[in-house]
Amino acid sequence: MALADQITAAVNAHAAWKVRLAQAIANGSSEFAVPVVRQDNQCPFGKWLYGDIDAVSRRSEHYEKVRGLHASFHVAAAGVLALAVGGKRAEAEAAMAPASEFARASTQLTLALTGWQRA
């Protein structure tokens, strides 16, 4: 898959985590395991970043920034998920609030991805 297509898919997939996490908060459960979510190389984009990416894209100035932000996003998402499945609904909701680490990580990753896509 081309770089632009991978990035579009990644933006969409990571946006979907807002919905998944909101569902986990509402239900107190998730089909996803916290330790797996915390790993940034288990989602399709992470697998591509660590394995299938072409050499030119890997040498891009954007690669390391996106990789780091992607890892931060996964840590933040796993933190929200852990609270949600741990029955800490109010804390999980706060962990997804606009000023939260999750919101910051999500926004920064999306901006970096779209910047890479434009380049």
Range of the domain at 14: 3-118
Residues whose CB is less than 8 angstroms from the CB of residue 77 and which lie 6 or more positions away in sequence, other chains included: 17, 21, 37, 102, 105
CATH number at residue 39: 1.20.120.30
Residues whose CB is less than 8 angstroms from the CB of residue 91 and which lie 6 or more positions away in sequence, other chains included: 83
Q: What is the per-residue pLDDT across 66-96, written as a single tens digit (0 to 9) for each?
A: 999 999 999 999 999 999 999 999 999 999 9
Number of domains composing the chain: 1
The residue ranking higher by pLDDT, 4 or 86, is 86
Whole-model pTM above 0.75? yes
